[in-house]
Structure 1
Amino acid sequence: MTAPTTPVVELAHAGFAYEDGPEVLSDVCFAVAGGRAVALLGRNGGGKTTLLRLLSGGLRCGAGALLLDGAEVAYDRKGLTRLRTSVQLVVQDPDDQLFAASVAQDVSFGPMNLGLPEEEVRLRVDGALAALDITPLADRPTHLLSYGQRKRAAIAGAVAMRPRVLVLDEPTAGLDPDGQERLLETLERLRAAGTAVVMATHDVDLALRWADEAAVLSPAGLRTGPVGELLADGALLDAARLRRPWATPVARLLRSRGLLPEGARGPRTAEELDALLARTG
């Protein structure tokens, strides 16, 4: 029997309240294993961004603990440096993250702060720019980038740290359809190389298509599980003020017509639906 894998990073019975405010999160248990794709969903103001900041060490748990490789994280310089070499957060607005004169300078900031040799920094910057498909923008001033380019540059800065967990807050917000597809392709390459990705999103269709697992925040707390199972739970989606993904009733209809075997995964994009209908005639 295979022993259970220790999560890379984990919130264990975590709680948090902002100063002079109500409790935002309570008794949250959330674990991220290596190489997984996890969609974090919930209503506006429900605590998604707070959870991401707790997971990446930007906020400190008011209750419970943050664990890295099974050991509690110390919120001192050594402990946070260790955490941030493994877990990197990219915030929703790239303008809150980009600050250097050029793209390459911005992407190099994290590796340089680790005290890495110049050659290693250069290799990491080149690799991150290539991973995000923005190598031609290396010398471009960050203020001259389009919104989508700024998003990719901000993610490249996190990728240059070579984290085991990449945490993204609404990364597809503001991107056109082509930009979204290019970003998803990039995330898939990172996952293939072993990086776990946690993505906060309101897009249930994107979550169902992309993720292995879902974490849904509702007033009753956080529920986690396989993405197909959670996003088929109508009561949970209603509590979290999320709409149903279109692929769930489509799969149900296809099964009722004998076009999709019981237990088989249904189409999760229009292209997959077209291909299935073409095969079944």
Structure 2
Amino acid sequence: MSETALVALRGASFAYEDGPTVLKGLDFDVCEGRALALLGRNGSGKTTLMRLLSGGLRPRDGRLTVEGLPVTYDRKGLTRLRTTVQLVVQDPDDQLFAASVAQDVSFGPLNLGLPDSEVRARVDEALAALDITALADRPTHLLSYGQRKRTAIAGAVAMRPRVLILDEPTAGLDPDGQERLLAALDALRSSGTTVVMATHDVDLALRWADDAALLTPAGVRAGPAPSMLARTDLLQAAGLRLPWGIATAQLLRAHGLLDDATPGPRTAEELAAVFASAAAVERTRADG
């Protein structure tokens, strides 16, 4: 087991009733302080894996551990797990049910039996973290899709988990909504929350994640995002394409505009900076 694994599955297998085995003999680590992107084609087992990590499903074989200790699936064990790991599903309407934003965000802390003052503090903290303090009294049925997404995440954040697992959090958001959500996630990471994001967006994974885990028919392969997302064999097996940043870096290196030691661009702004640097070098040579 990795010494830095906060949450880990070991030898985990799972099959739904009357269905085929979805995951078999899986070893998987969530390392504290690392942003992890989870990628794979539809039906590869991403949702099953996330539910195993968060305690929504129990492995048929193998075990789930938190800081090296096996998780028990009684009330005490699951409460311990869910104060460590929180899962936010893809559709916020599957998670929101209270009349107002603040009431919905308070549901988890109230279920922990916390004093009212502590619940209020957690709600205020979570609303601020997701930049929705102004929506505290807004009825949930009057929220935009992006606001509902952030409210659902705030409900998980109010539990103060050490690991936050998000299923396709940017799906359905416009570009501005995506940027605001990513900014909120960056703030959570800065405050010590480990974030796992399932996504089909390889460009987002390259830009955002420290590590990437690719689910393929042969199993899961994980490692630093730039190297994993450059593996065309694994990407093909996972039903994914090469990220534009990786493809662009390969082209730049082929034309001598980027050396092997310099990371490739992950955003349009970083690409513009590469060209600006190359242009500056050319001007210096011309002046000399």
User: TM-score when scaled to structure 2?
Assistant: 0.95
How is 1:135-214 mapped onto 2 (pairs within 5 angstroms)? 135-214=133-212
CA drift at 1:262: 1.3
AA in 1 matched with 2:271: L
How is 1:45-84 mapped onto 2 (pairs within 5 angstroms)? 45-84=43-82
CA drift at 1:243: 1.0
For residues 110-138 of structure 1, what are the alpha-carbon distances to aligned partners after superposition, in whole Å with 9 as ceiling and x for unaligned? 01111111111111100100000000000
CA drift at 1:61: 0.5
Q: Which residue of 1 aligns with 2:274?
A: 276
Given candidates 88, 91, 96, the residue that maps to 2:94 is 96
Question: What is the total number of aligned residue pairs between the two structures?
Answer: 278
Q: Which residue of 1 aligns with 2:245?
A: 247
CA drift at 1:264: 1.5
Counterparts of 1:147 and 1:54 in 2: how far apart (Å)?
27
Counterparts of 1:35 and 1:224 in 2: how far apart (Å)?
16
For residues 62-101 of structure 1, what are the alpha-carbon distances to aligned partners after superposition, in whole Å with 9 as ceiling and x for unaligned? 1110001100000000000000000000000000000000
AA in 1 matched with 2:49: L
For residues 142-165 of structure 1, what are the alpha-carbon distances to aligned partners after superposition, in whole Å with 9 as ceiling and x for unaligned? 010000000000000000001000
Q: Report the RMSD for the aligned CA atoms in angstroms.
A: 0.9
CA drift at 1:261: 2.1
User: Is the Cα contact below 8 Å between 1:6 and 1:70 reproduced in 2?
Assistant: no
For residues 16-68 of structure 1, what are the alpha-carbon distances to aligned partners after superposition, in whole Å with 9 as ceiling and x for unaligned? 00001000001111111112100000001111000000000000001110001
Q: Which residue of 2 aligns with 1:26?
A: 24
User: Is the Cα contact below 8 Å between 1:14 and 1:61 reproduced in 2?
Assistant: yes
Judged with a 3 Å threshold, the aligned counterparts in structure 2 of structure 1 residues 227 and 82 are, in CA distance, closer, same or farther, namely same
Counterparts of 1:235 and 1:33 in 2: how far apart (Å)?
25
User: Is the Cα contact below 8 Å between 1:212 and 1:226 reproduced in 2?
Assistant: yes
CA drift at 1:239: 0.8
User: Is the Cα contact below 8 Å between 1:209 and 1:268 reproduced in 2?
Assistant: yes
AA in 1 matched with 2:269: E
User: Is the Cα contact below 8 Å between 2:4 and 2:32 reproduced in 1?
Assistant: no
CA drift at 1:257: 2.3
Counterparts of 2:64 and 2:4 in 1: how far apart (Å)?
14
Counterparts of 2:38 and 2:194 in 1: how far apart (Å)?
13
AA in 2 matched with 1:227: A
Counterparts of 2:39 and 2:220 in 1: how far apart (Å)?
10
Counterparts of 1:54 and 1:262 in 2: how far apart (Å)?
39
For residues 177-213 of structure 1, what are the alpha-carbon distances to aligned partners after superposition, in whole Å with 9 as ceiling and x for unaligned? 1111111111111111111100000000000110000
Counterparts of 1:131 and 1:9 in 2: how far apart (Å)?
24
Counterparts of 2:174 and 2:4 in 1: how far apart (Å)?
37
Counterparts of 1:104 and 1:72 in 2: how far apart (Å)?
34
- Asked which structure has the greater CA Rg, the reply is 2
User: Is the Cα contact below 8 Å between 1:73 and 1:79 reproduced in 2?
Assistant: yes
Which stretches of structure 1, 4 residues or longer, exceed 6 Å deviation after superposition?
none
Q: Per the alignment, in what secondary structure is the counterpart of residue 8 of structure 1?
A: strand
CA drift at 1:274: 1.0
User: Is the Cα contact below 8 Å between 1:166 and 1:197 reproduced in 2?
Assistant: yes
Q: Which residue of 2 aligns with 1:132?
A: 130
Q: Which residue of 1 aligns with 2:286?
A: none
AA in 2 matched with 1:123: A
Counterparts of 1:277 and 1:124 in 2: how far apart (Å)?
46
AA in 1 matched with 2:258: L
User: Is the Cα contact below 8 Å between 2:66 and 2:81 reproduced in 1?
Assistant: yes
